Amino acid sequence: MPDEPLDRRFAGFAWSDDEQSLSAWHRGRTGYPLVDAGMRELWQTGWMHNRVRMIVASFLTKHLLLRWQDGERWFWDTLVDADLANNAAGWQWVAGCGADAAPYSRIFNPVLQGEKFDPDGNYVRRFVPELASLPADAIHQPWTASATVLADAGVRLNQSYPRPMIDHAAARRRALQAFARSRPGNVAEATG
């Protein structure tokens, strides 16, 4: 289970081999504050809330089209509560290739997830301290903040904090096309 998808339609899926993107995800430098907070919490504490686990896994597999096995191995090496079956099954669920998988079209929007589950930005402030001085309405998408707001918070995009490594809408379209080719006939709707 940690190596092969239970849904055999994914056996030949054309995953990316982008080591630079994988490294940015490992280090919490994706440019999406909630994803980065989760990955930094994992590295610092060895733990991550289940909601954030789903969001960072969705980002890896759906935004970056990187192998779920890469994420599964990283979690196995960093989680203090790692469990072989739970870890592999969770990754396959998010990637859409498990026994009882989420629809391949379920692609978490990291900005909307942040606004919904961390509305004041306290989680992001804790694990992404370079964004701590941003107001709540900008903390989940600092690239949309005005130059004044960024300057007042001491944030310099692509210097103190990266811009998003990929646009959510473009990544979503690319993922839906790639996954649809691997799963003919599946027309489930995407969620935010």
Question: How high does pLDDT run on average in the chain?
Answer: 92
Structure confidence at residue 186 as a pLDDT band (50, 70, 90): very low
User: Which one is predicted more confidently, 52 or 14?
Assistant: 52
Q: What's residue 100's pLDDT?
A: 75
Q: Which of 33, 41, 189 is nearest to 107 (CA)?
A: 189
Q: What's residue 101's pLDDT?
A: 67
pLDDT at position 188 over 70: no
Q: Which of 17, 8, 52, 10 is nearest to 34 (CA)?
A: 52
**Which tens digits make up the pLDDT trace of 94-114?**
998 888 766 777 899 999 999
Q: Could you give the CA distance from residue 95 to residue 87 in angstroms, rounded to a whole number?
A: 12
pLDDT at position 191 over 60: no
**For range 32-46, the mean pLDDT:** 98
Q: What's residue 182's pLDDT?
A: 73
Neighbouring CB atoms inside 10 A of 127's CB total: 23
**For range 134-160, the mean pLDDT:** 98
For the ranges 6-10, 14-18, 90-94, 132-136, the maximum mean pLDDT occurs at 132-136
Q: Which residue matches tokens 């990291």?
A: 110
Percent with pLDDT over 90 in the chain: 81
pLDDT at position 163 over 70: yes
**Which tens digits make up the pLDDT trace of 41-99?**
999 999 999 999 999 999 999 999 999 999 999 999 999 999 999 999 999 999 988 88
Q: What's residue 91's pLDDT?
A: 95
Q: Which of 55, 59, 36, 39 is nearest to 47 (CA)?
A: 39
Burial (CB count within 10 angstroms: exposed 0-12, middle 13-18, buried 19+), residue 77 = exposed
